[in-house]
Structure 1
Amino acid sequence: MTLRYLYTLAMFLVTPLLVLRLLARGVRSRPYHRRWPERFGFFDPPGFSGSLWVHAVSVGEVNAAEPLIKALRRDYPNAPLVVTTVTPTGTARVQQLFGDSVFHVYLPYDLPYAVGRFLKKVRPRLALIVETEIWPNLYHACRKRGIPLMIVNARLSERSLRGYKPLRGLLRSALRCVRLIAAQSRTDAARYRLLGADPEQVLVTGNMKFDMPIPGGAVAEGATMRGHWGPRRPVWMAASTHEGEELSVLEAHLQVLKRLPDALLLLAPRHPERFRAVEHAVRSLGFTAATRSLEGVPSPSHQVFVIDAMGQLMPFFAASDLAFVGGSLVPIGGHNVLEPAALSVPVLVGPQTFNFEEITRSLIEEGGAERVADAERLGPSVLQLLLDAAKRARMGQAAQRVFERERGAVQRVMRLIDTLLQE
């Protein structure tokens, strides 16, 4: 209890800094500026009770939760659905996927009065936290109000486990408020137990991202785009790139162009606020470029196409010969390798994939993905694959087999949810 009081005091002391951060983010995103009171629990009550609440911090977690949210809508059509996020990009993805069919609000900061206001207004009968978010005051408030709390698609990297070590007593107390932890893998389950979770409450259900729906028209749209820019043209994609990676990707593309002068790079930065900066960098390096927002699709004359749009990657993956998944050349920990794998597209990753270590390892071991040791190896690896159609076909088939083999996590999680709701 003393640890949580100290934690709460620290949260109150940093509140002025949180407000400054909100104001700074509001400069970049005016809709976020208008909604920052939600971070303190101030919003119009939706006027319902008995809701099913899903928290997904940002885009990756929202994508992971998509099949689960759809299953909840199917199996509990009369229960209001509440979805919370933390980032503007996560919010945009919720609106894109679900529109007004769910009630969206930003998750409040972990301050007791903000958390209390939030729970009083959405009145959930079940709380589902996606992946790794552990908020002591929120968790204790749910237990105090008798709201069953479940962490779904739970993952915990070795790096996060080390970072949590000084707070282990506080987090152990929070995790004991959780009814069930549905872990992605045995490794994740073991780490949650090391962090202090009750071993009997930790189960392995698999990764829900394997259950993500593939947009029905993605393959057809990808084929149409290839017809527009040239069906025999070599095309590779760099997806979810971060600051410090785009330059490496563009240098790799220069190496590719020396051997394959008609090659096309599809470049998709991770964060919308960086779209314009990345486009400027592409043009300043002398590439002929186009963007999704202006040209729609690249023409045969374009060397680089910047995908400056959210939630539209699947058709471009389908149109690519191979995909490099970003966040892996810099210490971000990598991003979702399953989207290209689901479409039988070979995958390249950098050395930093600790956020998706088991999925990435599985793809590499099965031959569906390859790891490049550093940025200097990216260009030669891309070129080698673009020149070897037979290897690309083998890798694509292997990636798709891994994707299909691992499906079913949502069904397992739904059985656990059904049990909790029946109790």
Structure 2
Amino acid sequence: MRYAPGLQLYLAQQKRRGLAWCETQIRVHKEDPLRIRERLGETSQQRPVGPLIWFHAGGESEAMALSELISRLMLERDDLNFLITTTRHIEKHQQEQILMGQALHQYAPCDTPQTVARFLDHWRPDMAIWVDRELHPALITCVFERQVPMVMIDARMSDEAQQKWRWRPGMARNLLRCFQHILAADGASARNFKRLGFPPENVEVTGFLQEGGAPLNCVQSERDDLAALLAARPVWLGVNVTAKELDVVVDAHRKVVRRSHRLLLLLNPTDLVDGPKIAEDLRADGWIVAVRSQEEEPDQETQIMICDTPGELGLWYHLSPVTFIGQTFYGDDPRNPHEAAALGSAILFGPNPARYRERFNRLEEAHAARRVSTPVKLAYELEHLLAPDKAAALATAAWEVSTAGADVTDRVSRLIFDTLDEVGV
């Protein structure tokens, strides 16, 4: 491929800048000081033996969609190895949640030919899969020149981004044509990729990757026993509720229970060990409380059930037609909303969905979840959803969003295996 003048100029400029420029950029952006060498294309990690699939994601939000896909690929071929690179910093605990012991993580090399060459010399990927919304010219062209097959999945190109690339049409066309196939997340993105010069026959609208994973399990006999005890009472769940959010949730319950006297709150605190103390405080405040860890069952008089035993979230989601996701008012580590969505629970969440922002936004756009902008509005939205038809409509939409990505994951898996077959890996 003959590169456009703009791309040639960029690559020449980046080559002149070299390693010293990269080190300056790393210091300016205060990147992980313990892993700076990775941004220079170096690593202390050994390349695993066998085929290696490399996923390049921009940051946490893009990387989080990969765990279900990687699980699916591992089921088909247990000889495959996986590397995930990101350009943006990811905290260690978030890396563990994303990788789940299934892949290696490295920070992507700076976008210069020298650093990318170092990276590729070491890792020698058999296939590259682009999940980043940014196009890094040196990284893309170096992979292409080494004849590593490269596809773009979960691909998004907004109208605004397309307009920016429109001023460099030759450069955009060169970069996109380094990819063999693009699986676009939506029709607008597919249209914009075509406008920038990618062959229309190689663009496919698939939707978003599956993000929820398998639904959480529960013991069916326990679910049936508890459902019988509740005897069709209206129920809602506050999951992963922080100490600061406790008053928010309980105040909302107090307001709604005045008009819905049989309403039961299932309260799952962030720190499960705090369950008995929370129950003690609530009882002092006049509430009738049962505590799961103390083997107490909810009777018809129980107003709040403390759900403080580990490994039972699937049970509570199953029983609750409405779920408020904690740590979305105060905190920074909410539960994955697809856990509730996959089990048919309508979702309420606060204004700060943190690392799951994109997933919450997608559910909200699909009328599958409702954002509660202030604590005062939680009671209003809760009361609205207690009408069975309202909760059912929201829960159905949430389930559809949560599970629709399974077909996308299947399609991406087929594309990856077909590509590996073509190159004999």
Category of TM-score, reference length = shorter chain: 0.5 to 0.7
Q: Which residue number in structure 2 is paired with residue 270 of structure 1?
A: none
Q: Which residue does 1:413 correspond to in 2?
A: 412
- CA offset at residue 129 of structure 1? 1.8
Q: Which residue of structure 1 aligns with residue 399 of structure 2?
A: 400
Aligned residues: 369
Secondary structure, in 3 states, of the residue corresponding to 1:68? helix
Q: Counterpart of 1:392 in structure 2: which amino acid?
A: A
The one-letter code sitting in structure 1 at the alignment partner of 2:344 is: S
Cα shift at 1:150: 1.0
Corresponding residue for residue 343 of structure 1: 343
Q: Does 1:259 align with 2:238?
A: no
Provide the C-alpha distance between the structure 2 equivalents of 1:297 and 1:135, rounded to a whole number of angstroms.
53
User: 1:155 maps to which residue?
Assistant: 156
Using the alignment, how far apart are the partners of 2:43 and 2:79 within structure 1? 23
Q: Percent identity?
A: 24
Counterpart CA distance in 1 for 2:377 and 2:125 is 47
Q: Structure 1 residues 315 and 161 mapped into 2: Cα distance closer, same or farther (>3 Å)? A: farther
Q: Unaligned regions of 5+ residues in structure 1, if any?
A: 27-32, 267-289, 304-311, 330-334
Answer whether contact 2:48 2:81 (CA < 8 A) is retained. Answer: no
Counterpart mapping for 1:274-289 below 5 A:
none
Give me the whole-angstrom Cα distance separating, in 2, the residues matched to 1:84 and 1:413. Answer: 19
Letter in 1 for 2:398: A
1:61-76 superposed matches below 5 A: 61-76=62-77
Residue matched to 1:292: 271
Structure 1: which amino acid aligns with 2:366? L
| Distance (whole Å) between structure 2 residues aligned to residue 291 and residue 328 of structure 1 | 12
- Corresponding residue for 1:5? 12
For the 8 Å contact 1:236–1:264, the answer to whether it is kept is yes
Cα displacement (A) at 1:137: 0.9
Q: CA deviation at 1:203?
A: 1.2
Structure 1: how far apart are the matches of 2:116 and 2:313? Answer: 35
**Aligned residue for 2:287?**
none
Deviation for aligned residue 1:125:
0.9
Gaps of at least 5 residues in structure 2 are 1-7, 228-232, 258-263, 283-311, 330-334
TM-score, normalised on structure 2?
Answer: 0.67
Q: Is 1:35 equivalent to 2:70 in the alignment? A: no
Provide the C-alpha distance between the structure 1 equivalents of 2:35 and 2:225, rounded to a whole number of angstroms.
39
Indicate the structure (1 or 2) with the bigger Cα radius of gyration: 2
Counterpart for residue 173 of structure 1: 174
Contact kept, 8 Å, 1:209 with 1:338, in 2: the verdict is no
Q: Is the contact made by 1:291 and 1:297 (CA closer than 8 Å) also made in structure 2?
A: no
Alignment of 1:205-354 (within 5 A): 205-209=206-210, 212-217=213-218, 234-236=236-238, 256=252, 259-260=255-256, 291-292=270-271, 295=274, 299-300=278-279, 322-323=322-323, 338-348=338-348
Range that drifts further, 133-142 or 82-91: 82-91
CA contact (8 A) 1:149 1:178 kept: yes
Change in 2 beyond 3 A, CA 1:210/1:92? closer
Pairwise CA distance, 1:163: 5.7
Q: Give the letter aligned to residue 259 of structure 1.
A: K
Distance change (3 Å), C-alpha of 1:351 and 1:156: farther
Letter in 2 for 1:340: A
CA-to-partner distance for each residue in 1:400-419, whole Å, 9 max, x for gaps?
Answer: 24544553111111221222
What SS class does the counterpart of residue 300 from structure 1 fall into? Answer: helix
TM-score by length of 1: 0.67
Q: Does 1:363 align with 2:350?
A: no
Which of 19, 26, 38 pairs up with 1:18? 26
* CA-CA distance at 1:141 after TM superposition: 0.7
Would the aligned equivalents of 2:237 and 2:265 in 1 still touch at CA under 8 Å? yes
Residue 395 of structure 1 deviates from its aligned partner by 2.4
Distance 2:225 2:54 in 1: 39
Corresponding residue for 2:387?
A: 388
CA distance, structure 1, for counterparts of residue 123 and residue 226 of structure 2: 44
What is the SS of the residue equivalent to 2:173? helix
Q: In structure 2, the residue corresponding to 1:397 is in which secondary structure?
A: helix
How far apart are the structure 1 equivalents of 2:224 and 2:39? 43
Following superposition, the deviation at residue 145 of structure 1 comes to 0.5
Paired amino acid for 1:42: E
Deviations 1:258-303 (A, max 9, x none): 614896887xxxxxxxxxxxxxxxxxxxxxxx64386489843679
CA distance in 2: counterparts of 1:236 and 1:385, whole angstroms: 16
CA 327–95 in structure 1, closer or farther in 2 if over 3 Å, else same: closer
1:138 alignment counterpart: 139
Do the aligned partners of residues 421 and 6 (structure 1) sit closer, same or farther apart at CA in structure 2, a change above 3 Å counting?
A: same
The 3-state SS of whatever aligns with 1:142 is helix
- Which amino acid in 2 is paired with 1:300? A
Q: Is the 8 A contact 2:11 2:137 kept in 1?
A: yes
Q: Which residue of 2 aligns with 1:83?
A: 84
Residue identity in the other structure for 1:363: A
Cα RMSD (Å): 4.9
Structure 1 residues 420 and 47: CA distance shift in structure 2, 3 A: closer
Trace 1:47-58 onto structure 2 (pairs within 5 A). 48=49, 50-58=51-59
User: 2:240–2:327: 8 Å Cα contact kept in structure 1?
Assistant: no
The alignment partner of 1:156 has SS state of coil
Q: Which amino acid aligns with 1:177?
A: C
SS at match of 2:182: strand
